Each structure stands twice: as structure tokens, then as C-alpha cells.
């Protein structure tokens, strides 16, 4: 049971450089909290360097489900102060936050970005010295930090011990002993500290069986459970984990995974597997989507199923490959020559990556059309908590896509040329028009298959409309508006093409005012909806480019400044 003084949540940030074990430290904390029955969300943010760059992990531990990082950190663990400055845009440190850092670091915390008004405890430890003495390696500094934090806050000791034991099974006996000694050294170093108040850990009312998983892992597992037995891809951040996961799992299931020589080859191989009747997919990010566009159009022309995942990142060009954004909507909807209709889905959160992957394979096979599934860096690489039975797991034989495959009962010639129903080339305008209608009709068969996520009041003073990863912060803003006495409703569109215009319009007609929330510079969803639907007279576009996830404070400031919700009472007094 949760104690009377237990807070609802706690937020922790960790910063260091590549190779410091920042993500491992975050995962150990997250896994032990989840084992204690708490929900957790963990963002991973990296520098764009191939190796050796900055690295951070941001955890939000809560008694209730959470789908994004908190706005402010209650605890900050610093392996190197110089790395904090590189994350100043994604790490906001509370004034009373507990900080544990290295006494051997000569960088000034103020120069690194520690707020001038910070008044919380700052505890310095000789991390490198303790790591070398007890862990026999300076790389054990993260284990020293783990011990220091766990000792100070009494971090779920039984669960942490079990998580460490499982994790250490992959190491040899000496490495296990050294790592555990480093944890003990960190715990002993701060054992007597009693000089001020410390954050209190949330505790669970019950202990539900929960697991942590990333959007990339969930998407890949759902693809396998949906019968995918072929994948071709090319390594590209932040989609590479999908390729890596499929490469590990597919051979054991009798499938094939190929790292192609480039993105074009990956798309063509995937399409060829579909022609052979095998459920297949490819995964990429923005630059790869551009290269795959001709093959996506070929799938539409030939009437072949094709599933392509686009894990969005900051663009254009190489951009910031390790940061999140929602700027590929126009590319997904319209990135092709000629009239090339396609089905476009967008996942709203980690679990939704699995749900929509399942839908993508079913729709591609049923509609004989290309399906583009949009994800985002924060969903793809971030970790979220799910019920233990919520992760797809099905290794039964795949039904395939046999209807028009090589060797099926129906033999047709498939071509990128305009053609008749037997695949024979045509060049007259009337046939081209008829086939354009046919290609659109294939895609329209999917209409309404993936309903939007709807929350809040049906008829509202304020409507929040979003897509993709803007879902989590919009849902929190919905609750904020309701708490301020404003009736509010929310709609998150998950099938962007074909757009269920009637359903969306019916929702729009019940909103007195509308704010469209998205993370791109140009307001791509806003412009798309405006071109197809009648938006309320009071419609505003809340948008900015990516690089950092939305904060609830940003939405609150926008809504207050435009008179859509009142200020908080403490702000008015």
C-alpha cells in the first residue's frame, strides 16, 4: 500500500557521455520501479555523433499511467557537468532538485546550465576514484551513482536487488563482483548524509505485473505476431532497433531479414517478398522515406501490399537524427509522383505502435495497397509501462498475402505501367482515369478501420486536436482545462489517409474553439484538415519544430495567453 506521505510521482534525469552507461543506469532504475508496481516513462536522448557524444535518460516514476516525461526534474545525476549544457533544452531542473555529481569534475555547474536559483542539495562524490577502487574500472561510475541514489532514497531495495541479479547474469563472475562492489561503495559513501530534506519515492497501491518496452520493440513484436516473415532495411536512426530486433527473431521463425545496400533496395526487396506472398515490411526515417517513394508508388500501381514504417526525426536532410519531430506528414501523404493514394497511420504512444502495426499488415493485405506507419523518435526509443500480457507474442505460421502472389491460383502480370486487369500495358486516357479511381477505391476500403482516440466532453468550449506523439501532452492539457472549469474535448487522429472526414467533422462541429497541436514548423496537420474540412471559426495552430518533446507548461501558456483557459489561482493572486 502507498504510504500517506507518498508523492504521486518522481522525475529523474541522468547526463553523461557515450560509454558512461547513462541508459543502463536509467533502465535499472526504471525496471526496479516497475517491478515495485509503479508506472514509468523513460526518454533516451543522444547526441548526433556516431560514438562518444553526450547521452541522457529522463525517467518519470508514477502511481498512475504516464506517457511522457515530466516538465521538471526532482533528481539529477551528473557524470560530467559539460554534458548537461548540451541538454539544456530538454532538462528543466526544479529549484529544490537533489543533485549527485562528481567532485573530480572541474567544470562549473553554473557554466554547465545549473539554474542560478537552485537551492536543493548538491552531493559530490569522487565517482572515478570509487569506480576504480571498487569496480576496478572507471566505467563503473554509473554503478557508484546507482548505489548512492538507491542508498539515499531507499530505492525499492528488493526489486533493485532482483533486477541487478538478472542483469549481471550476462557478465562473468569477476565483472559481477566488481559492479556490485561499485554499487555498495556508492551506497556507503552517502550512508551518513542527513543534512537536508530528500525526495520521497512514490509507492504503489497494488503491485500489478508491468513491463517496460519501447515503441520500436512493440512495433517489431506486433509485426511478427501479425505474420511478418520478411524484413529488408537499411540502418538509420531512430528506426534501426526495428531492423536489429527482426534480425534476431526472424530466422528462428523461418523468416528472413536482410540489411540491404541502400533504402531503395530495401523497399524493392520488401515489395518483391510481398509479390511472393510473404507478409513483409521495411522501416526507415525521413531521408529513407524519400528514397522509397518510387517503390511505394509502384506498390500502388501494381496493387501489391507493402508496409513501410517511418520513425520520424528532426529534418530536413540528416537534420538531428537523435531528436523527435512530427514533420513527415506531408511526405507520407503526398510524397510521390502522380496521383498515388496510400494508407497513412500514425501511432499515438508506445502501445499504439503495436496496435497500428497489426492494423498495417491487415489493411495492406485487404486493400492491396501501400501502408505507411508513422512513429517518432520519442515513441520509438522511449520506454513506457504496459501490462505484462500487453506485449504481442505469436509465433504461429503466417497466413501470408497469397491472393495475387507468384504461384497463386490467379496469375497476373504486375507492372509499373498503366495496365488492364491482366497486367497488359495500356496507354489511353480513359483507362488511366478508370485505374486512378480503382487505386483510390483500394485505399478507401480502409476508411474508418482505425478510429481516432477521443477523450473528454463531446460538446466542448475547447477542442484539442492532435496526431502522433502530441497525444500524451494534449491529454494532460485536457485534464488541465477541465480542472480550470473549462469543458474540453480531445481528438487524436490515427488514420490520416484515408481521412474519415465525416467522423472528424462531426466532432469539430461540437467544439466552440479548436487548437491543433503538432510538432512541426509549418503546421502540416492544420493545413491538411483546413483543405478538407470546415474548421471552427476560432481555430488556432499550436506548433513548433522538434528537437525536444512538448511540455505541458507550453500548452498551458498558449491556452492562457489566448484566453482559452484561466490562469491558475496562485498565478492570479
Give one DSSP letter per residue of 201-257, joined into a string.
----SS---EEEEEHHHHHHHHHHHTT--EEEE---TTTHHHHHHHHHHTGGGT-EE
- State the Cα–Cα distance between residues 476 and 470, nearest whole angstrom: 10
Q: Among 176-190, 256-270, 420-434, which is the least confidently predicted range?
A: 420-434
Up-side HSE of residue 283: CA atoms within 13 Å toward CB? 34
Up-side HSE of residue 453: CA atoms within 13 Å toward CB? 20
State the average pLDDT over residues 404-430.
78
The predicted pLDDT at position 403 comes to: 63
Q: What is the DSSP string of 119-169?
A: -S-EEEE-HHHHHHHHHSSGGGHHHHHHHHHHHHHT--HHHHHHHHHHHHT
Residue 407, pLDDT above cutoff 60: no
Residue 474, pLDDT above cutoff 80: yes
State the average pLDDT over residues 256-277.
96
State the average pLDDT over residues 345-367.
97
Is residue 292 within 8 Å of 266, Cβ to Cβ? yes
**pLDDT digit string, tens, across residues 127-146:** 999 999 999 999 999 999 99
The predicted pLDDT at position 50 comes to: 60
The predicted pLDDT at position 192 comes to: 80
Phi-psi region of 368 (alpha: psi -120 to 50; beta: other; left: phi over 0): left
The predicted pLDDT at position 410 comes to: 60
- State the Cα–Cα distance between residues 148 and 140, nearest whole angstrom: 13
Whether the link from the prior residue into 364 is cis, omega within 30° of 0, is no
In which residue ranges of the chain is CATH 3.40.50.920 found?
453-572
Q: What does the radius of gyration of the chain's CA atoms come to, in whole angstroms?
A: 25
State the average pLDDT over residues 487-501.
98
Residue 2, pLDDT above cutoff 50: no
- State the Cα–Cα distance between residues 541 and 37, nearest whole angstrom: 38
CATH number for the domain whose boundaries are 453-572: 3.40.50.920
Q: Among 74-88, 125-139, 200-214, which is the least confidently predicted range?
A: 200-214
- Give helix 429-444 / helix 286-302 axis angle, nearest 10°: 110
**pTM greater than 0.85 (yes/no):** yes
Handedness of CA 319, 322, 326, 328 (dihedral sign): positive
**pLDDT digit string, tens, across residues 358-378:** 999 999 999 999 999 999 999
- Which neighbouring-strand residues pair with 308? 282, 372
CB-based burial, 485-502: b 16+ in 10 Å, e otherwise: ebebbbbbbbbbbbbbee
- State the Cα–Cα distance between residues 447 and 343, nearest whole angstrom: 9
- State the Cα–Cα distance between residues 529 and 493, nearest whole angstrom: 11
Residue 408, pLDDT above cutoff 70: no
Q: Using alpha carbons, select from 512, 506, 490, 510 the residue that is nearest to residue 563.
A: 512
Is residue 359 within 8 Å of 450, Cβ to Cβ? yes
- State the Cα–Cα distance between residues 294 and 268, nearest whole angstrom: 9
What DSSP designation does 451 have?
P
Helix, strand and coil in the chain, % to nearest 5: 40, 20, 40
In which residue ranges of the chain is CATH 3.40.50.970 found?
213-444
The predicted pLDDT at position 404 comes to: 57
CATH number for the domain whose boundaries are 9-208: 3.40.920.10
State the average pLDDT over residues 427-446.
96
The predicted pLDDT at position 393 comes to: 81
**pLDDT digit string, tens, across residues 151-162:** 999 999 999 999
Up-side HSE of residue 221: CA atoms within 13 Å toward CB? 19
Q: What is the mean pLDDT of the chain?
A: 93
Rounded alpha-carbon distances, angstroms, from residue 237 to 233, 352, 549? 12, 20, 17
Is residue 77 within 8 Å of 22, Cβ to Cβ? no
Residues whose CB falls within 8 Å of the CB of residue 24, separated by 6 or more in sequence, listed in order: 142
State the average pLDDT over residues 352-356.
97
Residues whose CB falls within 8 Å of the CB of residue 349, separated by 6 or more in sequence, listed in order: 67, 215, 379, 384, 469, 471, 472
Other Cβ atoms within 10 Å of 371 Cβ, number: 29
Is residue 322 within 8 Å of 45, Cβ to Cβ? yes
Q: Using alpha carbons, select from 573, 531, 538, 545 the residue that is nearest to residue 559.
A: 538
Is residue 326 within 8 Å of 390, Cβ to Cβ? no
Residue 55's pLDDT band, with cuts at 50, 70 and 90, is very high
Residue 208, pLDDT above cutoff 50: yes
The predicted pLDDT at position 516 comes to: 98
Handedness of CA 59, 63, 68, 74 (dihedral sign): negative
CB-based burial, 401-428: b 16+ in 10 Å, e otherwise: beebbeeeeeeeebeeebbeeeeeeeee
The predicted pLDDT at position 1 comes to: 37
Q: Does domain 213-444 have CATH number 3.40.50.970?
A: yes
Is residue 58 within 8 Å of 92, Cβ to Cβ? no
The predicted pLDDT at position 421 comes to: 84
Q: What is the DSSP string of 79-116?
A: S-HHHHHTTTTT--EEEEEEEEEETT--S-HHHHT--T
Q: Which long-range contacts (CB under 8 A, 24 or more apart) does 532-537 make?
A: 532/499, 532/501, 533/501, 533/504, 533/505, 533/508, 534/505, 534/508, 534/509, 535/508, 536/463, 536/508, 536/511, 536/512
**pLDDT digit string, tens, across residues 302-318:** 999 999 999 999 999 99
Residue 19's pLDDT band, with cuts at 50, 70 and 90, is confident
Amino acid at each position: 500500500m502507498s504510504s500517506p506521505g507518498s508523492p504521486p510521482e518522481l522525475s529523474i534525469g541522468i547526463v553523461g557521455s557515450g560509454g558512461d552507461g547513462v541508459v543502463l543506469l536509467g533502465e535499472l532504475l526504471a525496471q526496479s520501479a516497475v517491478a515495485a508496481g509503479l508506472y514509468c516513462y523513460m526518454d533516451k536522448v543522444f547526441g548526433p555523433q556516431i560514438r562518444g557524444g553526450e547521452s541522457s535518460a529522463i525517467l518519470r516514476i508514477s502511481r498512475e499511467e504516464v506517457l511522457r516525461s515530466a516538465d521538471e526534474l526532482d533528481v539529477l545525476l551528473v557524470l560530467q557537468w559539460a554534458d548537461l549544457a548540451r541538454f539544456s533544452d530538454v532538462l528543466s531542473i526544479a529549484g529544490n532538485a537533489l543533485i549527485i555529481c562528481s567532485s573530480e569534475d572541474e567544470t562549473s555547474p553554473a557554466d554547465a546550465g545549473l539554474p542560478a536559483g537552485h537551492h536543493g542539495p548538491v552531493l559530490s562524490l569522487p565517482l572515478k576514484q570509487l569506480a576504480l577502487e571498487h569496480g576496478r574500472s572507471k566505467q563503473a561510475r554509473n554503478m557508484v551513482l546507482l548505489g548512492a541514489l538507491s542508498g539515499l532514497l531507499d530505492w525499492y531495495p528488493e526489486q533493485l536487488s532482483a533486477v541487478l541479479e538478472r542483469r549481471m547474469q550476462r557478465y562473468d563472475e569477476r565483472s559481477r563482483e566488481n559492479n556490485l562492489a561499485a554499487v555498495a561503495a556508492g551506497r556507503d559513501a552517502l550512508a551518513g548524509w542527513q543534512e537536508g530534506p530528500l525526495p520521497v519515492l512514490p509507492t504503489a497501491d497494488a503491485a500489478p505485473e508491468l513491463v517496460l518496452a519501447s515503441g520500436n520493440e512493440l512495433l517489431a513484436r506486433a509485426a511478427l505476431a501479425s505474420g511478418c516473415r520478411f524484413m529488408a532495411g537499411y540502418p538509420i536512426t531512430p528506426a534501426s532497433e526495428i531492423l536489429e530486433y527482426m534480425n534476431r527473431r526472424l530466422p528462428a521463425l523461418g523468416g528472413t531479414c536482410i540489411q540491404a545496400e541502400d533504402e531503395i533496395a530495401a523497399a524493392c526487396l520488401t515489395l518483391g517478398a510481398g509479390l511472393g506472398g510473404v507478409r513483409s515490411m521495411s522501416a526507415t526515417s525521413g531521408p529513407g522515406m524519400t528514397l522509397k517513394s518510387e517503390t511505394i508508388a509502384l506498390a500502388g500501381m501494381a496493387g501489391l501490399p507493402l508496409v513501410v514504417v517511418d520513425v520520424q526525426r528532426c529534418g530536413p536532410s540528416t537534420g538531428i537524427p537523435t531528436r523527435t519531430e512530427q514533420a513527415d506528414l506531408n511526405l507520407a501523404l503526398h510524397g510521390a509522383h502522380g496521383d498515388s493514394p496510400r494508407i497513412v497511420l500514425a501511432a499515438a504512444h508506445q502501445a499504439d505502435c503495436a496496435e497500428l502495426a497489426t492494423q498495417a499488415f491487415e489493411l495492406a493485405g485487404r486493400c492491396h495497397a501501400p501502408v505507411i506507419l508513422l512513429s517518432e523518435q520519442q515513441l520509438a526509443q522511449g520506454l513506457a509501462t504496459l501490462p505484462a500480457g500487453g506485449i504481442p507474442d505469436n509465433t504461429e505460421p503466417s497466413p501470408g498475402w497469397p491472393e495475387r502472389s507468384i504461384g497463386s491460383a490467379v496469375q497476373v502480370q504486375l507492372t509499373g505501367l498503366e495496365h488492364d486487369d491482366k497486367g497488359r500495358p495500356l496507354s489511353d486516357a480513359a483507362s488511366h482515369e478508370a485505374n486512378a479511381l480503382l487505386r483510390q477505391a483500394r485505399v478507401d476500403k480502409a476508411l474508418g478501420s482505425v478510429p481516432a482516440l477521443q477523450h473528454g466532453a463531446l460538446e466542448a468550449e475547447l477542442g484539442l486536436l492532435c496526431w502522433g506523439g502530441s497525444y500524451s501532452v494534449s491529454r494532460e492539457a485536457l485534464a488541465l482545462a477541465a480542472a480550470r472549469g473549462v469543458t474540453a474535448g480531445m481528438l487524436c487522429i490515427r488514420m490520416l489517409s484515408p481521412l474519415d472526414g465525416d467522423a472528424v467533422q462531426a466532432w469539430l462541429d461540437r467544439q466552440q474553439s479548436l487548437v491543433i497541436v503538432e510538432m512541426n514548423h509549418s503546421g502540416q496537420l492544420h493545413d491538411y484538415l483546413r483543405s478538407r474540412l470546415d474548421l471552427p471559426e476560432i481555430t488556432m495552430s499550436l506548433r513548433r519544430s522538434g528537437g525536444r518533446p512538448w511540455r505541458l507548461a507550453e500548452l498551458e501558456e498558449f491556452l492562457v495567453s489566448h484566453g482559452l483557459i484561466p490562469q491558475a489561482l496562485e498565478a492570479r493572486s
